[in-house]
Structure 1
Amino acid sequence: MSTLRVTAERLTIHTHPNADALELAQVGLYRAVVAKGVYQDGDWAVYIPEQAVLPAGLIDELGLTGRLAGADKNRVKAIRLRGELSQGIVCRPLALAATDLAAAHADGRDFADDLGIVKWVPPIPVHMSGDVVAAPDLLPWLDIENIKRYPALFAPGEQVVATEKIHGTACLYTRTPDGDFVSSKGFGAKSLSLVRSERNLYWRAVLGHRVPEAAAKLAAIFGAERVGIFGEVYGQGVQDLPYGAKGGAELPGYAVFDVSFSDASGALRWVDAEDLPDVLGGLSVRLPVVPRLYAGPYDEAALVALAEGRETVSGTAAHLREGLVVRPARERRSDVTGTRAIGKLVSEGYLTRKGGTEYE
């Protein structure tokens, strides 16, 4: 899930191909459907992204009562309007009428608090929850930003690796000299670890796929004090796309998407994306790895197209593809996001599917 920021953006206006009274306002690579004539090319407006939860007053002001997602009809979600994908809301809230939006954009101002907008937090099902304890040594994961929001994240022609984004739940595992820690993305963000339990989904995946044994070998290879193995747990009952993996008492599906490690100084390093399959493939304990769909020069249009289609996880193409995760072939920091250079592209089919689940 991406970081929630409500920002001022300069718009590029496009004709809606299927509606005379509508237009498309572009922010980054996102497009939001707007009423025709409200905005001109180059205008400034406020962009509210997907997964934002809006207060009742703002919903009423924008004329969106009963039209948003969620049980309370207050969550922004991608939808199709007259055949065109609309992601996020473009608006000029009354509360910001006196605000210089161009200056706010230059300052990087976030209007979420001003407008009472918060980030949607998915519910945690019982089988994914459990007792937790403080775990300050847990190696962290991060929110991955959408490349459509930050199109300058990668340079054209930069060598990148794109892997399939699996619709499951992120499992954080950390090996330390003092013991093992297992957590979910939500609990891990709070430096909390799940107490070991054979009934817990994450622990079952970690133990069943022999992740601790693999981590011990990686610690020896890298001379690391701590090793973090980050994988996606999936299967029947985890999300709405099971990829052929069973649920219940069966071993859930699991695929590694990242590995980090730190030495005695605490400095954190990541295994380069182009090396990850070989590093894991060289272990006597063979961990499943997320499918690699592309390796080569960064081509925005080609990768946006590759995010669509059918999944390759099950071997049967049983489901639509959630999308891609893109990394540079060699790990680097991004000046665009101020953190690791890593981004995602989410398929339109996934965003607009019916009956989807979004547990974390």
Structure 2
Amino acid sequence: MSTLRVTAEVLTVHEHPNADALELAQVGLYRAVVAKGVYRTGEAAVYIPEQAVLPPGLIEELGLTGRLTGGDANRVKAVRLRGELSQGIVCRPKALADVDLARAAAEGSDFAELLGITKWVPPIPPTMGGEVESAPDLLPWADIENVQRYPDIFTPGEPVVLTEKLHGSACLLTYVAGEMGPVRAKSGARGRVYVSSKGFGARSLALKEDPRNLYWRAVRGHGVAEVAARLCERLGARRIGIFGEVYGAGVQDLTNGADGRRHTLGYAAFDVSAEVDGAVRWLDAAALLEGELPVVPRLYAGPYDIARVLQFASGRETVSGRGLHLREGVVIRPAVERYSAVTGGRAIAKAVSPAYLTRKGGTEYE
């Protein structure tokens, strides 16, 4: 999931190819279906992204009663309207009637709090929860933005790498060298192991070891802590973070051929971070972990081209080797790790398959 921001945006308006009364308002590379004649190219309006939860009054004002998703019909989700993918809502709420939206767009103002809009947080299944403890040394994983929302993260022709985005649940492991604690790598290495999910990790919380817990099962089953301990010694690091996707039946609706309810729980590492000499840096997971742990498939390496990225985002999964179901999408990284002024941090983004966004009965547990 991406960061929730409700912002004013300058629009580009296109014809809807299948509906005379509708148009397509473009924000970044997203398009939202809107009523014809309400918006014009070059004008500013408010954009409410997917996964936003709207308050009842705003839902009624926008004429969306009973038309949103979720148990309370209050969550924004990608839909197809007359054959065109509509991602997010473009509107001009009454609460912002006196706001200069063009200026707000230039300044990047966030109206989420003012409009009472919050980010949807998926429920935590019992296998992904448990007893937690404070873990200030845990190396966190941040949400990454969708390249269609922020297309300027990368420049055309820049060398990039695309890896497959697996539909599972992110497992965070941090190994701290020389720190004694209740949980250590089974190899006997002198260090402490912290295991967490993306949601708990964002609050610097680690899950206490429990054989029923999904993440601990994956860590122990694939020897992730032992790999982290060896990597820590090899790099002369104080801390190592290994970030992997846990997947399979019983984890999410798309299984990639694994079964999380049995002994075939899937795991694939997608990122590594290391604290060396007081500085935390991100490292190439494939280069460091190949032969040690399963890693996410690399689908493409070459010059950045948004059309090519979106092409790779769709298609069938490759993890099982059998193309069992649709692919969630891809993660885009520069060939050489760098800072991005667009994200205010790492230059990293995702592109998600339209078929994944509009599938029926999908799960989105963190």
Q: TM-score range by the shorter chain?
A: over 0.9
Deviation at 1:246, TM superposition (A): 1.4
1:199 CA displacement: 0.9
Q: Summarize the alignment of residues 112-131 of structure 1 with structure 2, pairs less than 5 Å apart.
A: 112-131=112-131
What's the counterpart of residue 270 of structure 1? Answer: 282
Cα distance between partner residues in 2 of 1:45 and 1:271: 39
* Contact 2:80–2:86 (CA under 8 A) maintained in structure 1: yes
Q: What is the TM-score of this pair, normalised by structure 1?
A: 0.97
Q: Are 1:227 and 2:233 counterparts?
A: no
Contact 1:205 1:251 in 2 (8 A): no
Taking the aligned partners of 1:247 and 1:164, their CA distance within structure 2 comes to 20
Partner of 2:52: 52
Counterpart Cα distance in 2 of 1:306 and 1:167? 15
**Paired residue for 1:88?**
88
Query: d(CA) in 2 for partners of 1:260 and 1:187?
Result: 18
Conserved in 1, the CA contact under 8 Å of 2:171 and 2:244? yes
Aligned to 2:204: 191
Shift of residue 278, structure 1, vs aligned partner = 2.6
> What does 1:155-194 align with in structure 2 at a 5 Å threshold?
155-177=155-177, 178=179, 179-194=192-207
Kept in 1, the 8 Å contact 2:174–2:242? The answer is yes
Q: 1:300 aligns with which of 272, 295, 306?
A: 306
CA distance in 2, matches of 1:278, 1:128: 29
Alignment correspondent of 2:317 = 311
Q: Is the 8 A contact 1:133 1:192 kept in 2?
A: yes
Q: CA deviation at 1:264?
A: 4.3
Q: Are 1:280 and 2:289 matched, yes or no?
A: yes
The 8 Å contact of residues 159 and 304 in structure 2, kept in 1 or not, is answered as yes
Contact 1:28 / 1:151 at 8 angstroms: preserved in 2?
yes
- State which drifts further: 304-313 or 59-68: 304-313
For residues 61 and 334 of structure 2, the distance between their equivalents in structure 1, rounded to whole angstroms, comes to 42
3-state SS of paired residue (1:152): helix
CA shift for structure 1 position 244: 1.1
> How far apart are residue 18 of structure 1 and its match?
0.5
Q: Which amino acid aligns with 1:194?
A: L
Q: Is the 8 A contact 1:49 1:89 kept in 2?
A: yes
TM-score by length of 2: 0.95
| Cα distance in 2 between the residues matched to 1:230 and 1:288 | 12
Q: Check if 1:350 corresponds to 2:362.
A: no
Give the Cα separation in 2 of the matches to 1:190 and 1:353. 31
- Structure 1 residue ranges, 4+ long, deviating more than 6 angstroms after superposition: none
* Paired letter, 1:293: L
Q: Which residue of 2 aligns with 1:215?
A: 228
RMSD over aligned CA atoms reads 0.8
The secondary structure found in structure 1 opposite 2:330 is: strand
**Stretches of structure 1 lacking an aligned partner (at least 5 in a row):** none
Query: Percent identity over the alignment?
Result: 69
Give per-residue Cα distances to partners, 1:172-195, cap 9 Å, x unaligned: 000002210000000000000000
**Distance in 1 separating the partners of 2:110 and 2:287:** 41
Q: How many residues align?
A: 353
Contact 1:6 1:48 in 2 (8 A): yes
Amino acid at match of 1:288: P
Contact 2:44–2:105 (CA under 8 A) maintained in structure 1? no
Tell me how far apart the structure 1 counterparts of residues 269 and 78 of structure 2 sit (CA, whole Å). 28
Asked whether the equivalents of residues 208 and 251 of structure 1 are also in contact (C-alpha less than 8 Å), the reply is no
Aligned-pair distance for 1:247? 2.7
